[in-house]
Amino acid sequence: MGSAVLEPTHAVRVLPARTDDVGRVAASVVASFVRENPHGVLGVATGGSPMALYASLAELRAEGVVATDQLTLAALDEYVGLDPADPRSYRSYVWQHIAEPWGVAAERVHVPAGSSEDDADEYERVLARLRVGLQIVGIGRNGHIGFNEPGSNPTSRTRIVTLDDDTRRANAPYFGGDVHAVPTRAMTQGIASILAAESIILVAQGAAKAEALRAALQGPVTSAVPASFLQTHPDVTVVADSAALGILS
């Protein structure tokens, strides 16, 4: 019964939040960045974890508290073999949950595309030109960030990867519950690409993330837990609920 807030071994700032407050707390961190960098470059994750953050920031925009219109967005990853116009593509997600509600114009929205290593190199060049100021990431229950699955090298750059079975199972709900409908490959920013951001915010909710988060923040820095490489970055903030932080009550 009852245990302390997870304490990272390195200089990672942890902001515990109530489950229904994770989005608002994370949005306030992102809003500070946007106020200081209205023309800044924001790296954006897809998936369930940051959805409340994106909605909360859209509310702040509607209230006139923060102006997101001039931001540039760069996504972490994209499925290979899915039409970008498919509603399940990450390009569609970025449009629906971020660019449109935030008023960001198409020419400032960047999402990996294509299926070749040349396409991946091209996206890496885009990232090098843009220079991400704040990168938003979620964490997979297998410890992945982006689609850098266990075994990923800390020097990895944008590339085509094969998704772990567990990742495909975790994402099956977005494909009508059919794991076989989830693409087997994706293009993802590498660990080194992600760590090139000036600052990083990781958002996590739920007990399913507790073990991965503990290993990422308190365990050894290892390719077996790609998110553990965040410990080597000088400016990481984690916003998570008590279930993800492994706090028993």
Q: Which residues are the active-site residues?
A: 77, 142, 144, 149
Strand partners, 13: 237
Per the CB < 8 A criterion, the answer to whether 114 and 104 are in contact is no
**3-state class percentages of the chain: helix first, strand second, coil last, to nearest 5:** 40, 20, 45
- Chain residue whose CB lies nearest ligand F6R: 138
Minimum CB distance to ligand F6R smaller for 68 or for 188 = 188
The whole-angstrom separation of Cα 22 and Cα 49 is 9
Taking the complex as a whole, the smallest distance from the CB of residue 183 to ligand F6R amounts, in Å, to 13
Spatial distance between the Cα atoms of 131 and 133, rounded to a whole number of angstroms: 6
Q: Is 48 in the site for ligand F6R (CB under 6 A)?
A: yes
Q: How many whole angstroms separate alpha carbon 78 and alpha carbon 163?
A: 11
At 167, the amino acid letter reads T
Nearest residue (CB) to ligand F6R, 46 versus 156: 46
The overall longest dimension of the chain from CA atoms, in Å, is 52
Among 146, 190, 219, 246, binds ligand F6R (CB under 6 A): 146
Binding status of residue 144 toward ligand F6R by CB under 6 A: yes
- Please report how close the Cβ of residue 81 comes to ligand F6R at its closest, in angstroms: 16
Token pair of 96 as six digits = 């629906």
Q: Does 46 bind ligand F6R (CB under 6 A)?
A: yes
77 binds ligand F6R (CB under 6 A): yes
DSSP per-residue string spanning 145-168: BTTB-TT--TT--SEEEEPPHHHH
Question: Is residue 45 within the footprint of ligand F6R (CB under 6 A)?
Answer: yes
Q: Give the range of 79-87, 96-104, 132-140, 233-241 binding ligand F6R by CB under 6 A.
A: 132-140
The stretch among 122-130, 142-150, 154-162, 240-248 that binds ligand F6R (CB under 6 A) is: 142-150
CB atoms within 10 A of CB 162: 13
Nearest residue (CB) to ligand F6R, 65 versus 224: 224
Contacts of 87 (CB under 8 A, 6+ apart): none
Q: Which of 43, 133, 140, 246 binds ligand F6R (CB under 6 A)?
A: 140
- E strands along 45-149, which residues? 72-75, 77-79, 109-110, 134-137
d(CA 47, CA 50): 7
For position 112 contacting ligand F6R by CB under 6 A, the verdict is: no
Q: Rule CB under 6 A: say whether 241 interacts with ligand F6R.
A: no
Q: Is residue 138 involved in binding ligand F6R (CB under 6 A)? A: yes
Please report how close the Cβ of residue 20 comes to ligand F6R at its closest, in angstroms.
Answer: 16
Asked if 246 interacts with ligand F6R (CB under 6 A), we say no
Residues in contact with ligand F6R by the rule CB under 6 A: 45-49, 76-77, 138-140, 144-147
